[in-house]
Amino acid sequence: MRTPALTLLAAISMLNAAELKPDAAISAVTVYADRAEVTRHAKVRLEAGTHVLTFDNLPAATDLNSVRANGTGAFTLVDIRGETIQTVDIPNEKVRQLTDRLRLLERQKEELTRAVQRVATRKEALDKILGRLTSAGKDSPNPDLDPTKWSGFVDYHAGKLAALDEEALALVDKQRDNAKDADQVRRELAELRGSGQRTRNVARVTVEAKGAVDATLNLSYIVSGPYWEPSYDIRANIKAKTLEVAYYGTVRQSTGEDWKGVTLHLSTAQPSVGGREPELDPWFLRRLEPMPVAAAAPLGASGGEQRGRSIATKAKMMNDMRADGFAENSLTGAMKTSEEARAQVITSGVAAVFSVERSCDILADNKPARVPLSRDTFPASFRHTCVPKLSPHVYLKAKAINKTELPYLPGPSAIFVDDSFVANANMDLVPAGQEFWSYLGADASVKVERRVLADRTEVSGVFGKKTVGTLRDYVFKVTNGKQAAVELVIWDQIPASNHEDIKVSLQEPKDTKNNPDLKIDDQKRIEWRIDLKAGEKRDVPFRFTVERPEDFIVEGL
Total-model pTM: 0.59
- Rounded Cα distance between 33 and 268, Å, is 7
DSSP letter for 241, please: T
pLDDT-derived band at 194, boundaries 50, 70, 90: low
Q: Are 356 and 373 in contact (CB under 8 A)?
A: yes
Q: Is 332 helix (H, G, I), strand (E, B) or coil?
A: helix
Q: Say yes or no: 475 and 526 in one domain.
A: yes
What type of residue is 341?
Answer: A
Instruction: Judge whether residue 47 has pLDDT over 60.
Output: yes
- pLDDT mean across residues, the chain: 81
Q: pLDDT confidence of 232, banded at 50, 70, 90? A: very high
User: 399 and 463: one domain?
Assistant: no
> How does DSSP assign 402-422, residue by residue?
--SSS-B-SEEEEEEETTEEE
Number of independent structural domains in the chain: 4
Total residue count of the chain as it appears in this document: 557
The CATH number assigned to the domain holding 217 equals 2.60.40
Residue 209 domain flag = yes
Query: Average pLDDT, stretch 496-512?
Result: 86
Domain limit, last residue, from 417, 442, 467: 442
CA–CA gap between residue 297 and residue 314 (Å, rounded): 14
- 257: in domain: yes
**Residue 40: domain span:** 4-89+198-225
Q: How does residue 190 score in pLDDT terms, banded at 50, 70 and 90?
A: confident
CA 352 vs CA 161, 271, 412: distances in Å: 75, 13, 19
Q: Are residues 119 and 24 in the same domain?
A: no
Contact in structure between 217 and 225 (CB atoms under 8 Å): no
CA distance 118 to 335: 78
pLDDT score recorded for residue 224: 93
Q: How confident is the model at residue 466 (pLDDT cuts 50, 70, 90)?
A: confident
| pLDDT score at 280 | 79
**What is the rounded CA–CA span in Å between residue 223 and residue 38?**
7
The answer to whether residue 171 is domain-embedded is yes
Tell me the β-bridge partners of 456. 471
CA-nearest of 290, 298, 286 to 330 is: 286
HSE-CB of 136 using CA atoms within 13 angstroms:
8
- 499 contact partners, CB below 8 Å, separation of at least 6: 548, 552
Highest mean pLDDT among 40-49, 101-110, 377-386: 377-386
In this structure, the answer to whether residues 358 and 490 fall within a common structural domain is no
In a domain, 341, yes or no: no
> Cα 292 vs. chain centroid, distance in angstroms?
54
